[in-house]
Structure 1
Amino acid sequence: MSNSAEGKKVPQVTFPIRRDNEWQSVTSNELFADQTVVLFALPGAFTPTCSSTHLPRYNELAPVFKEQGVDRVICLSVNDPFVMQAWAEDQHAENIEFIPDGNGDFTRDIGMLVSKNDLGFGDRSWRYSMLVKNGVIEKMFVEPDKPGDPFEVSDADTMLHYIKPDVTLPARVSLFTKPGCPHCTRAKTLLQENGYKYEEIKLGSAGLSYSTLQAVTGKGTTPQIFIDGQLIGGADELEALMAER
């Protein structure tokens, strides 16, 4: 794999897609002309790294990309339109535009089509990201040619820091809550009023229990709030922290 596509125009193809349960088509020209676009490509919908890390971080940082002049953030994979639509719904990635390259035409023309026959996948995209301005590829971050599925340079943070090296990233906030907890509601309100987006981890869902809470936080009460990996504590501690800022 190489960065040989930098400075070239994106491949001109037509993508069959599904919108509102109907077949439609979108062209490369519609996606890239007269726009600044960040595209990240990955081996497959619903696969572990793609679902847990690659896509979620781009979705999380998409508003920051747009603050830096990016018009759209596109996720591309050599999957059929039904699979990509189902994955988009499963991921709740409302900030990302999903483009299925089912026949691999775009991926082949850009030199990123690889065989994954050993995994039973057939032909798929190599993992990469690129910044495209008015249809011309300014920058590509292509994963190194190593066995397996390397994920070292095509992440959202690397692309964002290329666009603006001194960019200020939004805080990453997670909070453990339980249903019917008034202090949890107070904590969420405090975060919203101060402009923080957050990930809510609800006890009682997906097998999460007080044992999980104790193991992760060392505490036995909700809410428990983390900001950028640091345990803040409950709603009172969060309120005190917000008062200082």
Structure 2
Amino acid sequence: MTKPESREGQPVPKVTFKYRQNGQWKQTDTDKLFKGRTVAVFSLPGAFTPTCSSTHLPRFNELAPTFKANGVDEVICIAVNDPFVMEEWAKNQEAHNVFVLPDGNGAFTGGMGMLVDMSDENFGKRSWRYSMLVKDGVIDKMFIEPDKPGDPFEVSDADTLLKYVNKDAKAPDQVALLTREGCEFCAKAKQQLKDAGVEFADVNLPHTIRTRALGAIAKARTVPQLFVNGELVGGSDAVEKWVKQRKAA
């Protein structure tokens, strides 16, 4: 395969999309999606594939509110898959912040010059992996993955596109709280985080692994344990202190 060329400065191709939402057929087109709007788009080889499911879509979904806070009207994921597959993938990924849009016939992808033959992997024709910022229907910037063996994922990620939108944009903190069922201190910590408007992953540790997991991950014996951006903050008192500092900032 040869890396497709950038289409910066050119209009997006005029295409009608048919998709499914809540089990119903819907229709839209590129004018509705892009005219008079600023839109972040990322395209990938296929739903339910490893990099697409583990990294590409989840991070765009996580950063979609930050994109919108920085002037982007919508975040759209496009793949050459049929509407049923894309609907189920969006549900599976809980991608509520991204419009997961099927380009089943490859009309949009072909018009972008991004349709490539992946027959060696038994995929048929699929999209090259890329991201772009579209302003009023015109492609402002593209990040196209290099022509390398395998499935390169180096430049089309959400963070790279967000930094192009606003180099000073701050991604949300990645927050996780280790907890257990029936723990009043855990319930208090979760409520404190919710009251502060902090989105967090509640990692409920089952009894059978809790002691080993706490020791290995947090070097602790009790829950809750709060982690922010990969760093251990600590237990109940530390959670309360961190929340107060965040509110004061």
Q: TM-score range by the shorter chain?
A: over 0.9
Q: CA deviation at 1:66?
A: 0.6
Match of 1:130 among 129, 132, 149: 132
Q: CA deviation at 1:4?
A: 2.5
Query: What is the letter of the counterpart of residue 231 of structure 1?
Result: L
Residues 20/6 of structure 1: CA separation in 2 closer, same or farther (3 Å cut): same
Q: Deviations over 1:199-242 (max 9, x none)?
A: 2222239x975433432222232222110110011122111223
**Structure 2 unmatched ranges of 5 or more:** none
Match of 1:67 in 2: 69
Residues 101/210 of structure 1: CA separation in 2 closer, same or farther (3 Å cut): farther
Match of 2:198 in 1: 196
- Pairing 1:215–2:234 present: no
Contact 1:129 1:155 (8 Å CA) reproduced: yes
Distance (Å, rounded) in 1 between the aligned partners of 2:66 and 2:10: 26
Match of 2:241 in 1: 240
Q: CA deviation at 1:29?
A: 1.1
Structure 1 runs (4+) deviating above 6 angstroms are none
Look up the SS of the partner of 1:196 in the other structure. coil
Look up the SS of the partner of 1:197 in the other structure. coil
Contact 1:202 1:208 (8 Å CA) reproduced: no
**Structure 1 unmatched ranges of 5 or more:** none
TM-score (norm 2): 0.92
Identity value in percent: 53
Match of 2:22 in 1: 20
Q: CA deviation at 1:143?
A: 0.6
TM-score (norm 1): 0.93
Distance (Å, rounded) in 2 between the aligned partners of 1:44 and 1:177: 35
Look up the SS of the partner of 1:99 in the other structure. strand
Match of 2:181 in 1: 179
Distance (Å, rounded) in 1 between the aligned partners of 2:215 and 2:120: 41
Query: What is the letter of the counterpart of residue 157 of structure 2?
Result: D
Distance (Å, rounded) in 2 between the aligned partners of 1:95 and 1:208: 33
Contact 1:3 1:140 (8 Å CA) reproduced: no
Query: What is the letter of the counterpart of residue 69 of structure 1?
Result: G
Distance (Å, rounded) in 2 between the aligned partners of 1:164 and 1:143: 21
Match of 1:84 in 2: 86
Distance (Å, rounded) in 1 between the aligned partners of 2:197 and 2:30: 36
Residues 217/36 of structure 1: CA separation in 2 closer, same or farther (3 Å cut): same
Alignment: residue pair count:
244
Q: CA deviation at 1:82?
A: 0.7
Match of 2:165 in 1: 163
Contact 2:6 2:144 (8 Å CA) reproduced: no
Contact 2:181 2:204 (8 Å CA) reproduced: yes
Q: Deviations over 1:70-129 (max 9, x none)?
A: 110001111111111111111111111110011111111101111222222111111110
RMSD (Å), alpha carbons: 1.8
Residues 19/175 of structure 1: CA separation in 2 closer, same or farther (3 Å cut): same
Q: Deviations over 1:11-56 (max 9, x none)?
A: 1111111123222221111111111100111111111111111111
Look up the SS of the partner of 1:46 in the other structure. coil
